Amino acid sequence: MDRTTRVTARPIGRLTPVGPSFPPVLTGTVGACAPGDGVPGPADIAYDPATAAGSLHTRAARVLADNWTGTSTVPSRGLYPHQWSWDSAFVAIGLRHLSPLRAQTELETLLEAQWADGRLPHIVFNPSVPLDAYFPSPDFWRSSAAGRAAGAPRTVQTSGIVQPPVHALAAWLVHRADPGLSRARGFLARVYPRLAAWHRYLLHRRDLGGGGLVSIVHPWEQGMDNSPCWDLPLSRVVPAPARSFRRADLAHGAPEDRPTDLDYGRYVRLAAEYRDRGYRDGHAMGPNAFAVEDPAFNALLIVSEHALARIARELGATGTARHARAQRLAAVLVDRLWDPARSLFLCRDVVSGRPIPERGVSGLVPLLLPTLPREIAAALVRTACGPHFGLGRTTRLVPSYDLLGEAFDPHRYWRGPAWFNTNWLLERGLRLHGERDRADALREAVLDIAGASDFAEYVDPFTGAACGATRFGWTAALTLDLLHERPGAGAPGCGAGAVKPVKPVKGGDRG
């Protein structure tokens, strides 16, 4: 336990649920909501000049109100009726502009479902939702039984896999939205030990390649579920029989927009085998295992390590060890995953030990890193704007996969469509590295297309046509965040800021 963990190691405690829509008491620059309204009125929305009925701001706020359950936000009422891990982090980033209290509650609710080994499960199930509303359902994961040895909670049902670690970044941004409220509630002091344990789990249990980077053990863990980047390692996995499961997602979306049955069979096989091992990590991997070092997952961990350092400093510690760790991880990321010939970060198949030669948007996300070498940042910008992703030329939003790739499909989930969360990340990366004009253009495109598509889950990268669910949680939330950002501004606070190189610290680094 490092010094900052010792200083702040207090239990998170139980939360007092807020109302059915927005909490009635807001502080700082945001006013109170009208009782029973669910959406702030014009006087309650700070910063955005266009607060009349029908404005983009008010429409986005309405989506988040409609998706609110009382303690968390569902991504979509029909397709995704539970709480998802990285969705909640992105939702909290947008909610902070409407209600810092509700944004804090969003993260605290998720953290209450943390396992004793530190993992944050990718789904926290709502017990009031019927089992057949979503698959895999709680009776598939059997977390409290199969995950007992790993410390799965007994009072709530969860999945057993994880999603990208955006949570510390979200917690820091939520704190900054209303520091007075955050300090009064002890928000950072309560969430810091949980976030530290989450990072510790990833760094100590998931370094399956032995080189210092985190590995994912299921495509769902990376968040980009059916990306062509997984095709090669997934080809080793024998799919579960189609008759052994029933897909609920096809009842809410067009089959041509969703992963194929073959892909789903492989997802089910991997998840079932992980469950049947008791969700143990670090086992001897066989030739058919799935283990991948992904650039986006690790880049988000690095950014969140910088954010944890900021949180530690707010709580009275130095944060130096965390900044140093983040810089070391960034160096390892460049060393292991950077491909200078493609000017892109590539995924690495841990089983074969070889890079996966597919160009996915994941390879651009390390643009978020504040200590990324200047020449690599410039190369990533050229790649994003070049023929493989077409930003500013053939596309207004960055697609999820190579426009020239054989597997490209403009409508099928993560095999080509543009997603709003990855474009929000890239907008921040462009702004961080001084590409203000490109960042402003991407911001404008996100806002235009989010509004025109009714806050779609994802869109055709050429036409902006909506795909998947509409009125999607993180699309609405990140729209709000961009509305609160002034065009032409420098890099927004990302939990790292302008990080100066620090000397490695001996000891005190197991956080």
* Model pLDDT, residue 14: 37
Q: Looking at 108, 221, 457, 460, which residue is catalytic? A: 457
The single-letter code of the amino acid at 253 is G
For residue range 149-165, what is the model confidence (pLDDT) as tens digits?
999 999 999 999 999 99
Local confidence band at 10 (pLDDT 50, 70, 90 cut-offs): very low
- Mean pLDDT score of the chain: 86
Beta bridge partners of 401: 360
Q: Which two tokens stand for residue 423?
A: 């474009």
> Between vectors from CA 33 to CA 30 and to CA 36, what angle results, nearest 5°?
165
More confident residue, 74 or 14: 74
Give mean pLDDT, residues 363-379: 98
| Phi-psi label, residue 206: left if phi above 0, alpha if psi -120 to 50, beta otherwise | alpha
- Percent of the residues in the chain that have a pLDDT greater than 70, as a whole number: 83
3-class DSSP state of 362:
helix
87 is catalytic: no
Give mean pLDDT, residues 6-28: 33
Buried b (16+ CB within 10 A) or exposed e, 441-464: bbbebbbebbeebebbbbbbbbeb
Helices (H), 187-337: 187-205, 219-222, 231-234, 261-276, 295-314, 320-337
DSSP state of 399: B
Local confidence band at 245 (pLDDT 50, 70, 90 cut-offs): low
For residue range 42-71, what is the model confidence (pLDDT) as tens digits?
223 333 435 555 899 999 999 999 999 999
* Model pLDDT, residue 419: 98
* Model pLDDT, residue 252: 61
From start to end of 359-486, where are the E strands? 418-419, 458-459, 466-467
DSSP state of 64: H
More confident residue, 89 or 37: 89
d(CA 142, CA 232): 29
* Model pLDDT, residue 286: 75
H/E stretch holding 7:
helix 3-8
Contact of 240 with 268, CB cutoff 8 Å: yes
Contact of 95 with 171, CB cutoff 8 Å: no
* Model pLDDT, residue 20: 34
> Between vectors from CA 237 to CA 234 and to CA 238, what angle results, nearest 5°?
140
* Model pLDDT, residue 468: 92
Q: Above 80 in pLDDT, residue 212?
A: yes
d(CA 96, CA 423): 20
Contact of 150 with 141, CB cutoff 8 Å: no
225 is catalytic: yes
* Model pLDDT, residue 34: 29
* Model pLDDT, residue 54: 81
Give mean pLDDT, residues 460-472: 96
Q: Which two tokens stand for residue 19?
A: 């109302």
Contact of 85 with 123, CB cutoff 8 Å: yes
Q: Above 50 in pLDDT, residue 423?
A: yes
Give mean pLDDT, residues 259-274: 89
* Model pLDDT, residue 500: 44
- With a CB cutoff of 8 Å and minimum separation 6, the contacts of 377 are 367, 433
Q: Which two tokens stand for residue 145?
A: 């039984």
For residue range 297-355, what is the model confidence (pLDDT) as tens digits?
999 999 999 999 999 999 999 999 999 999 999 999 999 999 999 999 999 999 999 99
> Between vectors from CA 300 to CA 163 and to CA 451, what angle results, nearest 5°?
80
More confident residue, 289 or 382: 382
* Model pLDDT, residue 510: 29
- Nearest C-alpha neighbor of 325 from the set 480, 508, 117: 508
* Model pLDDT, residue 486: 77
Contact of 23 with 178, CB cutoff 8 Å: no
* Model pLDDT, residue 487: 77
Q: Looking at 2, 108, 117, 225, which residue is catalytic? A: 225
For residue range 66-111, what is the model confidence (pLDDT) as tens digits?
999 999 999 999 889 999 999 999 999 999 999 999 999 999 999 9
The single-letter code of the amino acid at 16 is T
* Model pLDDT, residue 53: 59
Least confident piece of the model among 21-25, 241-245, 431-435: 21-25
d(CA 276, CA 239): 16
More confident residue, 270 or 15: 270
For residue range 500-511, what is the model confidence (pLDDT) as tens digits?
433 333 323 223
Q: Which two tokens stand for residue 118?
A: 């530190």
Give mean pLDDT, residues 349-367: 97
* Model pLDDT, residue 282: 79
